[in-house]
Amino acid sequence: MENITVKVNGVEISVPKGTTVLEAAHTAGFEIPTLCYMKEINEIGACRICVTEVNEGRGFRLVAGCVYPCSPNMEIVTNSPKVIESRKKTLELILSTHDRKCLSCVRSGNCELQKLCKDYGIDDATKYDGVNEHYEIDDSAAHMYRDNNKCILCRRCVAVCSKTQGIGVIGANERGFKTYIGSAFDMGLGETSCVSCGQCIAVCPVGAISEKDFTKDVMAAIADPEKTVIVQTAPAVRAGLGEAFGLPIGTNVEGKMAAALRRLGFDKVFDTDFAADLTIMEEANEFIERVTTGGTLPMITSCSPGWVKFCEHYYPDLLDHLSTCKSPQQMFGATAKTYWAEKMGLDPKNIVMVSIMPCTAKKFEIGRPDQSAAGVPDVDFALTTRELGRMIERAGINFLGLPDEKFDDPLGISTGAGVIFGATGGVMEAALRTAYNTLTGDNLIDIPEVRGTDAIKEATYKVGDLDVKVIVTSGLSNARKVLDDIRAGKCDAQFIEVMACPGGCVNGGGQPQVPMGIRYFVDIRAERAKVLYNLDKEMPLRQSHENPAIKKVYEEFFEKPGSHKAHEVLHTSYVKRKVNEV
């Protein structure tokens, strides 16, 4: 590729032809602020926060640095008085239509607009105040709300919903000053075929959209002496929670997380990884059964509730391909309120099951039909990683000063196969480990072909007498390509893993928000996934069927994978939904 020479604030550098001004500045060690820009999916140059002065031989002029390409010998100035004044004026105009209730905003202290206003010395008394539209908050969805009074029309949410997830249930309505982001025909988000993935929340720079917060309800349950309140934490939470307390992306805080949960008052602190191992036992058994008895193939994983709802809305004709296994969250709740409740002599009605998840779709999942093995909901509250972070801060717990503690037994025991569930390809790798051992008696542990953040990964493995072709994909626009091939009869795979969020649960819609300026240049999916694969590598047991707690629960309760009892408690059914129908 041809390189060109440019100067950034007097620093001469060489960059590939086609590099944007923003990218060149980063290479030279200078960061240009943005609000609307998302590399490859929202390159619209609309917010004008990124304006930068450039000279291409005709004098300096302002351009949108996020989309403007460098030319040979270009001079770039990122912080001149003219640039700073332009950005300040833009910020003041944005604030003129923004509901500036920063003290009570969920994003206060972690808001990209707030930070820019601080950096550029913008106070609350904007000189452009005038008549503003007022919008009712849309809280019709199970997992989130939308407050258009705080929206800055950056369109990041629109881009990620349409292009990354291939759904497009939100967009710009009206024109000019009356423009707002909403659904077609002003439907509430809960009336659309939104799949609750929360990727729009993950990229929103302000507090216009966020998950519904149930932390007060959980704390009220903890304070109720009649209730036994237990908590489970998903694999990806330990790889993201530290970011809420200023730790680097990719920091493992498993031990501190367990300690914090005890100090919040939970009666038992368990690990969803246990249920991930349980899911593998059921899923691997189901896959082997389908292969050997002529069942519906390819079989597709069912751990991601956003993916499941996507399939129900957009591919209801392919629901027979879904594994009937509940997700690990739901399996855990079902096991806790049947097997564990029986062992502890507790009435399931008095057990409050709380899950800490990287996923906003889990809030929808807990209310799905056929998710109440003990006659009560398997899970009562699903909180995001962000909600847990807020609970810890509100309780005055010094998270960084906590000692490392372990999960409680027996539902806190897990294997390496359970922990990698949080990364794309992890479910497939865990299932292959157990299926391979079951059919051959040998071990297949590290499976690099299904790891990494590529959009669609394919591989074929010799498992006994079978050639098993697998596909792993994440991000629903990628899933759509795979499902279209199945519909067209072009897919020859036997086993497929789909995760709704790009990169898997580590990049879930409930994880700590990362400013877009960092997301441009750091693959947060890969950094968080490293935590899980490193944990897997260090664990003494790395296959789900080796888990002693799993062996015990089958001996004492479920009998064997795929048993009648297991199907009653651990398996579920699906709903054929129309597009734009709940």
CATH number of the domain encompassing residue 188: 3.30.70.20
Same domain, 246 and 366: yes
Same domain, 193 and 311: no
Q: Could you tell me the CATH number of the domain that includes residue 276?
A: 3.40.50.1780
314 part of a folded domain: yes
- Burial class from Cβ neighbours inside 10 Å (0-12, 13-18, 19+) for residue 369 reads exposed
The single-letter DSSP state of residue 70 is: P
Same domain, 397 and 334: yes
As for how many domains the chain has, the answer is 3
Same domain, 518 and 403: yes
Please give the angle made by the CA atoms of 420, 423 and 426, to the nearest 5 degrees: 50
Same domain, 343 and 251: yes
Backbone angles phi, psi at 302, to 5 degrees: -130, 25
Same domain, 219 and 203: no
Same domain, 55 and 131: no
125 part of a folded domain: yes
Tokens 């036994």 sit on residue = 228
Given phi > 0 = left and psi -120 to 50 = alpha, else beta, which region is 475?
left
Residue 510, C-beta contacts closer than 8 angstroms, at least 6 positions apart? 198, 201, 211, 357, 358, 359, 360, 362, 384, 385, 386, 387
Q: CA 247 to CA 261: how far, in whole Å?
A: 18
What's the token pair of residue 524? 């947060």
| Bridge-based pairing state of the strands 466-474 and 495-499 | parallel
Q: What pLDDT shows up at residue 581?
A: 54
3-state secondary structure of 518: helix
286 part of a folded domain: yes
What stretches in the chain show pLDDT beneath 50?
582
| pTM of the predicted model as reported, rounded to 2 decimal places | 0.96
396 part of a folded domain: yes
Q: CA 70 to CA 179: how far, in whole Å?
A: 32
90 part of a folded domain: no
Report CA torsion sign: 494, 576, 278, 414.
positive
219 part of a folded domain: yes
- Closest by CA to 479, choosing from 505, 497, 454, 506, is 497
Between the two ends of the chain, the Cα-to-Cα distance in Å is: 50
Same domain, 318 and 460: yes
Same domain, 223 and 204: no
- Closest by CA to 37, choosing from 150, 157, 154, is 154
84 part of a folded domain: no
Same domain, 382 and 497: yes
Q: CA 235 to CA 322: how far, in whole Å?
A: 22
- The β-bridge partners of 211 are 144
253 part of a folded domain: yes
Q: What pLDDT shows up at residue 580?
A: 67
Q: How far is Cα of residue 303 from the mean position of the Cα atoms in its chain?
A: 13
- Closest by CA to 391, choosing from 510, 513, 271, 261, is 261
- pLDDT per residue as tens digits for the range 48-88: 999 999 999 999 999 999 999 999 999 999 999 999 999 99
Q: Which domain holds residue 158?
A: 95-211
CB 240 within 8 A of CB 252: no
CB 50 within 8 A of CB 112: no
Domain finish residue from 184, 211, 238:
211
- Burial class from Cβ neighbours inside 10 Å (0-12, 13-18, 19+) for residue 38 reads buried
Q: What pLDDT shows up at residue 492?
A: 95
- Residue 378 corresponds to which amino acid? D
- Closest by CA to 182, choosing from 174, 191, 172, is 172
Domain finish residue from 211, 234, 256:
211
Same domain, 402 and 258: yes
Q: What pLDDT shows up at residue 1?
A: 74
Residue 95, C-beta contacts closer than 8 angstroms, at least 6 positions apart? 113, 117, 122, 124, 126, 128
Report CA torsion sign: 511, 514, 520, 522.
negative
Same domain, 42 and 174: no
Q: How far is Cα of residue 228 from the mean position of the Cα atoms in its chain?
A: 29
Domain finish residue from 20, 53, 79:
79
Q: Could you tell me the CATH number of the domain that includes residue 21?
A: 3.10.20.740
| Bridge-based pairing state of the strands 456-463 and 381-384 | unpaired
Q: What pLDDT shows up at residue 450?
A: 97
